[in-house]
Structure 1
Amino acid sequence: MYKNILIPVAFDAQKDVAGAIDIANRIAGEGATITFLHVMEQVPVYVTDYVPATFVSETREAARAKLTELLGDVANARVVVIDGPTGRSITNWADETGVDCIVIPSHRPVMSDILLGSTAAWVVRHAHCAVHVIR
């Protein structure tokens, strides 16, 4: 099965992270690494004057803590928080770290997703590895 699995996590109620963890555990080979990845979008320049200087570092630590909580008893799991545009950052990180399967939770598509695209759709189109979408 897979040796290096990535689960991108966005913190919203519509995403089935528990389902993604279940699938990752089922498809993981012996000794596989499962990485929980959260991508932080950049704070727009016009907003930076209105947020505390510690906002980004505090948000990063809060994301890391939430991901660590999600790990539970997942074997060989790790937490990574990166910055950038979400879809592109997920696929770039997967390429750079040799991920062989991305298990990505997604919400039910709506018309705006068809017109604008979603993170899961970006990952499916641009990943250079297997992608398993959970709805």
Structure 2
Amino acid sequence: MYHSILVPISFDPDRDVSAPLKLAGLLATPEARITLMHVVEQVPAYAISYMPVDYLEGTRKALQAELDGLAQTLPNATGLLIDGHSGRSILDWAEQNAPDLIIIASHRPGMQDLLLGSTATQVVRHAACAVHVVR
């Protein structure tokens, strides 16, 4: 059983967030702190000029509301929205907050992942705590 669990959440349409959340609920102690994190990657400068002025702010509010809704399904869970590169930001947060476990969803690797790697791969290779990968 784990006392501090980090669950990075991807809102990609092909990813199911229910499995990592269910697993977090099963592996957490009754007083465990569960953090549901979504990392917002930076929009390239050339693309930002084509977006409405309030687009990013509206998107951030919607993402935070979604995280908060998911957090309400688990005891002692909170939603956290941060900016940065997905893999590096997850690892940096984990280094600063020392969770016992990271539960991360992954997709089946394709050719692109063989060349560039995936977020889950980066977290598994470099995290200082236990990592559970869910497919």
Aligned residue type for 1:63: L
Task: For structure 2, list consecutive stretches of 5 or more residues without a partner in the other structure.
Answer: none
Q: TM-score by structure 1 length?
A: 0.93
Question: How many percent identity over aligned positions?
Answer: 49
Deviates more, 1:58-67 or 1:10-19: 10-19
Corresponding position of 1:96:
96
Deviation at 1:16, TM superposition (A): 3.0
Corresponding position of 1:23:
23
Runs of 4+ residues over 3 Å off in structure 1: none
Deviation at 1:72, TM superposition (A): 4.0
Q: TM-score by structure 2 length?
A: 0.93
Deviation at 1:70, TM superposition (A): 2.1
Q: Take 1:73 and 1:45, find their aligned partners in 2: how far apart are those partners? A: 37
Corresponding position of 1:44:
44
Corresponding position of 1:70:
70
Q: Take 2:52 and 2:24, find their aligned partners in 1: how far apart are those partners? A: 37
Q: Take 2:49 and 2:113, find their aligned partners in 1: how far apart are those partners? A: 31
Q: Aligned pairs, how many?
A: 135
Aligned residue type for 1:86: S
Deviation at 1:80, TM superposition (A): 0.3
Task: For structure 1, list consecutive stretches of 5 or more residues without a partner in the other structure.
Answer: none
Deviations 1:23-74 (A, max 9, x none): 1111112300111100000011112221122222111111111112223431
Q: Take 2:13 and 2:51, find their aligned partners in 1: how far apart are those partners? A: 25
Corresponding position of 2:34:
34
Q: Take 1:108 and 1:55, find their aligned partners in 2: how far apart are those partners? A: 31
Q: Secondary structure at the match of 2:82?
A: strand
Corresponding position of 2:61:
61
Q: Answer yes or no: is the 8 Å Cα contact 1:16–1:106 preserved in 2.
A: no
